């Protein structure tokens, strides 16, 4: 019984480790836009599925054609890709009109590869949206916040 649970914990550790190795954090702002990077070219796939929360469809590329047929309504009219880049293996996604609840883990699933490219999107609120009258020290405060964020991003990479 005890041995069994230790083995389970080891498995969980291995799975988390293999996912976090590939994660890229993309910062964004409410109302702004971000490009979620996904490049894969050995070989260049025909099918790429963008998913959020593991299973929810955000965008599909099937036989190098973009498709929003299965897309969940939350992302309607807010995502696009770059078809002229497909042949270079670039299946990056443009997500615009960012909302706070867009901060999630996005996966670019290369069909025929068991190693999805995982993109973690982090959305933060701009200063102007929090205060109606920004204080004169606003610029200093926001650059301080940026450096804290960069420090955090770097610490994730190490
Ligand atoms: C993929 O295409 C997008 C849109 O043109 C571009 O911003 C990005 O730099 C490209 N990525 C690579 C690795 O070429």
CATH assignment at residue 40: 2.60.40.10
Chain centroid to Cα 68, Å, comes to: 18
Domain extent, residue 93, equals 22-128
Q: Is the CB of 33 under 6 A from ligand 1?
A: no
Q: Which residues are CB-contacts of 126 (< 8 A; sequence separation ≥ 6)? A: 29, 30, 31, 32
Q: Is the CB of 41 under 6 A from ligand 1?
A: no
Q: Cα separations (Å) of 33 from 26, 28, 63, 70, 143?
A: 11, 7, 26, 22, 20
Cβ-contact 82, 75 below 8 angstroms: no
**Ligand 1 center from residue 58 Cα (angstroms):** 19
Q: Is the CB of 90 under 6 A from ligand 1?
A: yes
**Residue 135 falls inside a structural domain:** no
**Residue 64 falls inside a structural domain:** yes
**Residue 48 falls inside a structural domain:** yes
Q: Is the CB of 80 under 6 A from ligand 1?
A: no
Question: What gap in Å lies between CA 115 and CA 38, rounded to an integer?
Answer: 12
**Residue 155 falls inside a structural domain:** no
Q: Which residues are CB-contacts of 139 (< 8 A; sequence separation ≥ 6)? A: none
This model's pTM is above 0.75: no
> What pLDDT sits at residue 152?
60
**Ligand 1 center from residue 146 Cα (angstroms):** 24
E strands, the chain, in order: 24-29, 34-36, 47-52, 56-62, 65-67, 79-81, 93-95, 105-110, 117-124
> What pLDDT sits at residue 23?
79
Question: What gap in Å lies between CA 84 and CA 97, rounded to an integer?
Answer: 23
Average pLDDT per run of 10 along the chain, which is 158 residues long? 50 43 82 94 92 95 96 97 97 95 93 82 67 48 53 62
> What pLDDT sits at residue 17?
40
> What pLDDT sits at residue 13?
45
**CB count in 10 Å sphere of residue 19:** 14
Whose Cα sits closest to atom 3 in ligand 1? 92
**Residue 53 falls inside a structural domain:** yes
**Ligand 1 center from residue 31 Cα (angstroms):** 21
**Ligand 1 center from residue 152 Cα (angstroms):** 25
Domain count, the chain: 1
> What pLDDT sits at residue 104?
92
Helix segments in 21-137, DSSP class H: 127-130
**Residue 91 falls inside a structural domain:** yes
**Residue 10 falls inside a structural domain:** no
Q: Is the CB of 85 under 6 A from ligand 1?
A: yes
**Residue 81 falls inside a structural domain:** yes
In a 13 Å sphere around the CA of 36, the CA atoms on its Cβ side amount to 31
> What pLDDT sits at residue 18?
41
């Amino acid at each position: 019984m005890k041995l069994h649970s230790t083995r389970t914990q080891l498995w969980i550790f291995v799975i988390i480790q293999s996912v976090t190795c590939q994660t890229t954090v993309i910062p964004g702002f409410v109302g702004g836009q971000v490009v979620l990077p996904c490049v894969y070219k050995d070989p260049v796939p025909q099918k790429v599925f963008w998913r959020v929360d593991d299973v929810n469809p955000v965008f599909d590329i099937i036989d190098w054609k973009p498709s929003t047929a299965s897309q969940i309504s939350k992302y309607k009219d807010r995502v696009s890709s770059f078809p002229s880049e497909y042949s270079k293996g670039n299946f990056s996604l443009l997500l615009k009109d960012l909302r706070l609840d867009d901060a999630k883990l996005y996966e670019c699933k290369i069909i025929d590869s068991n190693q999805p490219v995982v993109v973690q999107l982090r959305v933060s609120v701009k200063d102007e949206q929090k205060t109606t009258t920004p204080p004169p020290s606003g610029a200093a405060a926001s650059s301080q916040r940026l450096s804290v964020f960069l420090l955090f991003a770097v610490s994730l990479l190490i």
